[in-house]
Amino acid sequence: MTHVTAVVLAGVSLLALAPTAAMAQAPSGSTTTAAATDEALPEIVITGTSRARVALDTPLAVTQVNETSLIRLGGSGQANILNTIPTIKADGGGGEVAANVFVRGLPSGGQYQFTPLMYDGVTVLSSFGLNSSAYDVYFRNDLGISRLEFVRGGVSNLFGPGSVAGLINFISKSGGDQLEGTVQLEVAEKDRYRGDVALSGPLGGNLFFAVSGFYRTDKGPLRTNLDTKGGQIRGNLEYRFGDGSGHIKLLGQYINDQAQFYLPIPLDGATRSRLPGNDGKLVNSVQNDFAASLGFKTPNGTFSSDIADGVSTKGGMIGLTFEKDFGDSGWGVNGGVKYSDYKHKFGLWSDGDGVINVPETLQSFLTNRNLGALSNAAFSFVGGGAAPANTLLFANRFTDRVRPVHDFTGELNLTKSLATGSIDHSLTLGGFYGNASAGDYNVTTTYLAEFNNTPRLVNLVVTNPTSGATTIVSNNGLLNAGAGYVNNRHEAERYAAYIADQMKIGDRFNLDIGFRWERLNGQIRRERTATVITDSTTANLSTALRDVIWGNGAFTTGNVSTSEWAGAIGALYKLSDGVSLYANASRGYFFPELRSVSFNALFQPSTYKAEIIKQAEAGIKVQQPRFSLTVAGLYTKLDNRRQVLFVNDGAGGFLERVNLVGTESYGIEGTLDLKLMRHLRFNGNLTIQRSRYTAFDTTPSNIGKDIERQPDVLYNAGLYYDDGAIDISAFTNYTGDNFTASSNAILLKGWNIATVDAGYTVPVGAGRMRISVNVFNVFNTAAVTEGSPRQDNNQAANGAFFVGRPVLPRRFMGRLSYNF
């Protein structure tokens, strides 16, 4: 028996499920991805607002990923999980974290720009766009997750942090009446080792606990001499009122983790396949541990890079949620508060030096920079040895980005159930508050290295043939010290009020209606820069003076604010107990990212207005004993979007270019879960969409063109066998053709990524042990998932080289787990 406690927070009904085998079952009328069981599908309660409802009765789209599927999908990172959800495209070629998430054809540079990421209904960060780090750098998934819900459309997305495009919510396990747990050891190629544990149970006196955590080390999936290592612990402590009227739950998380992030690399220009390096081996990455060699002097002292730490986060979150039902009066209250504080760094490797951006011969490197003939140049490897004449070089950059962040959120909802004639009302009146601030301190370094895996740095000294004077161009591999500098701090304060009514009219008809009003106040502080001359070398080869872009100590500050409203309506009609028709429409908004705000010559901030999104959806939900399916039509229109792109400035640095755009998209999505025989199921989904620009201020010729990185076709399909002892899952994810940039000049062909997971489970003592093998990217596809975001529309399609990010290579993984 699955025990269900409905916990409403942030516009999503959180299901505190006892951690039993029943967790793998699907809720009635929802979309469940991947490993479904062969048992009858129960009517597990889910909701979008103030009361729990069967999904079949909810006039919005809900996708769920169960616990079993999360484990089998998540070995290579968050993107693999999100890619199984209809209308979502998630690029995971960069590794475990910082997934680029695209949803419903909306224009995005990646991250989670339109979809708040939540754990247990609590948003990870209340405002996006304080810097460009993705939400998933602050949290990791573990065995303490019971399932994922993605809710989109209708009044559900008006509540809590709000988002018309959808809410991604991972729901944790809660303690039950018995002590239960899982321990797991995971081993994979390239020295990956991970240990997980999850425990939950009673503490006595109506008090229950759940705790989970992991630690892992990983030298892959690409060898770079840069390690992924660290872990996380999190949990909850819940007191349940003896009369069953509610609970109070304390939440906590601590993370100390670093994960490597892989950027696009030079590929063959004709085939877009990996190229051999100087040693004849195919180049998978051009990253290496260069931090010790590339320090330099600045006006504030010596700068030392932490690029070897990759994407690192240290800190945590503490929160409190509560729910109380006041019995026959129909009144109830729920809500929560959260405070988080993270010391976060994002070491970003670039895809070129911002000028040439592709591998060069020794002579072409000199020619491209007006440095003369090869006969007057001396190339040598740092550590010793002259560079052979046929050496290929690749000048590249990395950026140390220090991004501390803290966030406070609070939410309070007052609920009332009442009846007026034949209509049962479930009313919610609530409010949300968020205050988030983040730093964004960036230093960019340009270096010269060979074109190889784990490349060596290269020195270059040029001699003037007339005067005999020497110029040190690359010192210990350092080409350009302080190629870019940013020191920003952004703070966003949000407060919102909302009201909704979920109505049940007779036995067949449900009607939802809701309204939200919100205000955002933003504070901006940015240090101005200057080019200074300093002895920026590491002192062991030269004392040459160099130009360094650095902060000058003066700051531009400004405040912006705006208010906006959203409204939504949704209706559902039950044709029968197993078939429902539904439709919803909404008018909503996104607040522009504070990093998109520019200043004029008088240091006044630009105008700040909300981006308006209009969305509609209509479809059918079918739930039968042997199958369930959904089919829906979608429409989305977005106006006044401030699109922020992190691109090359043409001189070796970066800039955040802001385009004011409008977009329109429409499409259909369908899902199917089919019981083929007793232990075998098929599960799949399909999204067909078209998305176009309707406005583009900087480049009007882009109007009517496809939105970049948005495919017209997405699908997932898989077969899942589980007889209790043997389980086999074989599934594939397809991403269709899409363009690299808004000019639509470069088309990337679609690709499939196939995964196989197989296990054998046996009783051991009081529990069960499963030994399994997982193979990601079974056919080792090397398809290109993106071009060079830094080059954007300036990227060439017909050269000898093409800079792009291939799918991560095939990886074998073994797991041993014990459940008790």
Task: Give the pairing of strands 117-119 and 167-172.
Answer: parallel
Among the ranges given (157-161, 203-207, 309-313, 808-812), the one the predictor scored with the smallest mean pLDDT: 157-161
pLDDT value, residue 546: 57
- b/e 316-338 (16+ beta carbons within 10 angstroms → b): bbebbbbbbbeeeeeebebbbbb
pLDDT tens column, 349-397? 999 999 999 999 999 999 999 999 999 999 999 999 999 999 999 999 9
pLDDT value, residue 31:
53
Whole-angstrom Cα distance, residue 603 to residue 194? Answer: 50
- How far out from the chain centre does Cα 86 lie? 16
Task: Encode pLDDT of 41-84 as tens digits.
Answer: 444 445 455 666 777 888 988 888 889 888 888 776 788 898 88
Beta-strand relationship, 331-346 and 53-54:
unpaired
The arithmetic mean of pLDDT across residues 587-608, rounded, is 93
| 149, two tokens | 């819900």
* Mean pLDDT calculated for residue range 755-767: 96
**Residue 751 CB contacts under 8 Å (≥ 6 apart), including other chains:** 734, 735, 781, 783, 785, 807
Task: Give the pairing type, strands 405-420 and 654-677.
Answer: unpaired
Query: What would the pLDDT profile of 786-801 be if each residue is shown by its tens digit?
Result: 999 999 999 988 899 9
pLDDT score at 154:
77
pLDDT at residue 62 in the model: 83
- Predicted local distance difference test score (pLDDT) of residue 743: 96
What stretch of H or E contains 146?
strand 145-152
Is-contact 742 693, C-beta < 8 A?
A: yes
Q: What SS3 class is residue 376? A: helix
The pLDDT value given to residue 45:
42
Q: Calculate mean pLDDT across residues 209-221.
A: 96
What token pair was written down for 123?
A: 């948003």
> How many residues belong to the chain?
820
With beta carbons less than 8 A apart as the criterion, state whether 394 and 449 touch: yes
Structure tokens at 216: 């892992």
Query: For strand 192-204 and strand 117-119, is the pairing parallel, antiparallel, or unpaired?
Result: unpaired
Please report the pLDDT score of residue 34 as a whole number: 53
Does the structure show a pLDDT above 90 at 167? no
CB 11 within 8 Å of CB 48: yes
Mean pLDDT of 699-724: 96
Sign of CA dihedral 106, 108, 112, 114: negative
C-alpha–C-alpha distance, residues 252 and 210, integer Å: 11
Per-residue model confidence (pLDDT) at position 396? 97
- Neighbouring C-beta atoms of residue 677, cutoff 10 Å: 8
Does residue 335 carry a pLDDT above 50?
yes
* Mean local confidence (pLDDT), 692-696: 97
In sequence order, the β-bridge partners of residue 10 are none
Q: Does residue 156 carry a pLDDT above 90?
A: no
Question: Within 10 A of 765 (CB to CB), how many other CB atoms are there?
Answer: 8
Confidence category of residue 808, pLDDT binned at 50, 70, 90: very high
Q: What is the pLDDT of residue 93?
A: 75
Q: Which of 264, 168, 71, 31 is nearest to 819 (CA)?
A: 71
In whole angstroms, give the CA distance from residue 703 to residue 688.
21
Where residue 108 falls among pLDDT bands split at 50, 70, 90? Answer: confident
pLDDT of 32 reads 57
Q: Which residue blocks in 46-157 are alpha helix, DSSP H?
A: 67-73, 78-82
| DSSP sequence for 576-609 | ETTEEEEEEEEEEEEPPPGGG--B-TTSPBPP--
Confidence of residue 145 (pLDDT cuts 50, 70, 90): very high
- 322-346: average pLDDT: 96
Give CA–CA dist 508/504, Å, rounded. 8
Q: What is the pLDDT of residue 47?
A: 45
Cα 89 to Cα 106: distance, rounded to the nearest angstrom: 11
Q: pLDDT digits over 175-201, tens only?
A: 999 999 999 999 999 999 999 999 999
Query: Cβ distance 31 to 86 under 8 Å?
Result: yes
Residue 228 contacts by C-beta under 8 Å, 6 or more apart in sequence?
A: 95, 96, 216, 217, 218, 219, 258, 259, 260, 310
Cis previous bond, 221, omega within 30: yes
Residue pLDDT, tens place only, 407-428: 999 999 999 999 999 999 999 9
Q: What is the pLDDT of residue 776?
A: 94
User: Residue 672: how many CB atoms within 10 A of its CB?
Assistant: 17
- Residue 384 CB partners (closer than 8 Å, separation 6+): none
Over residues 659-678, mean pLDDT:
96
Could you tell me the end-to-end alpha-carbon distance of the chain, in angstroms, rounded to an integer? Answer: 17
Neighbours of 531 (CB within 10 A): 11
Among 527-541, 582-596, 622-636, whose mean pLDDT is lowest? 527-541
**CA 272/CA 270 separation, integer angstroms:** 6
Query: Encoding tokens for residue 39?
Result: 């048992």
pLDDT at 535 exceeding the cut of 80: no
